[in-house]
Homo-oligomer: A and B are copies of this chain.
């Protein structure tokens, strides 16, 4: 992970920029790898760091810890975080982990982190990152089309366009991990999932489902070619006043990370222009066989035919009215005769 500067610096800032949150604390680093996060925690003044690494890399982690003179603080534990036992049933104040995969969930060890949280974290302990949000937006795919689809149209004087179509077809089975430019986004980001790591249940990551309508934003008519996924992670403490929160964003508008963006490529381009309404139903289902993978399903919705969610931020007159009505209802105190409570139980 260390070649990804955005990533490592976010953790470094979250840890070393909040030393008062680490001084004298017990920390668990899940999936310690090279040990860099454990070292940051030790530098921040942690009294004890359990650097948990399940792979054979644990020996290297131990060497790195020794080389930097932190063997008295950091204890490297070879095992799975949810399976190991800490001495005398000790609980930890902070769990720090870099568990995020492509589109947040792919190849992730999030479940392991959540189970370890339930086993090892004190009731008022802190998870770092503390929040993770998954976004989607419509996009065009300049580079992908140039290099992988249009590329085949004229090559050595021959027309190999069926190969480009085969590439498009192959993307129905596997999303594309690539950099999408900020100006290739064709809609505002739609929030697909919002995880609070302190409370998220392991069963809640089995399925992520989103149904959304949004309006196209573009300077001139263009091609709607994919749905782009990315995530943000926040590092926050319960007492925000006494800490400096940090955000790690993998959005097209932020500095590129090794996660890039994940693109669900449409089977073919769709001509769109400013203000056009588009809709999708997006489901990420954890694979029953390959527990570290997800099956992603995207269905395009017809904004005229298919029912919009309530509330809906698509901007269509009907949805604007409903949203405004609901927002108003939320703000007003309930009138005395406003709500009847019906009960079918015994009086």
Binding site for B on A (CB under 8 A): 2-3, 8, 12, 34-36, 39-40, 57, 60, 63-64, 67-68, 151-152, 155-156, 158-163, 165-166
Contact = CB atoms under 8 A, between A and B. Distances in A.
Contacts of A166: 57, 60
A46 B263 CA distance: 43
18 contacts: A2-B155, A2-B156, A3-B151, A8-B156, A34-B152, A34-B163, A35-B160, A36-B155, A60-B162, A60-B163, A60-B165, A60-B166, A64-B158, A64-B159, A64-B160, A64-B163, A67-B161, A68-B158
Contacts of A163: 34, 60, 64
Contact of A68 (B2, B68, B159): B159
A182 B35 CA distance: 37
Contacts of A68: 158-159
Copy number in the complex reads 2
Contact of A67 (B12, B35, B40, B159): B159
Contacts of A60: 162-163, 165-166
Nearest to A155: B2
Give the most central of A34, A39, A158, A161: most B CB within 10 Å.
Answer: A158
B34 A160 contact: yes
Nearest to A39: B158
In the A-B complex, list the 9 residue pairs whose CB atoms are closest, starting with the nearest.
A63-B162, A60-B166, A60-B162, A67-B159, A34-B163, A64-B162, A64-B160, A68-B158, A39-B158
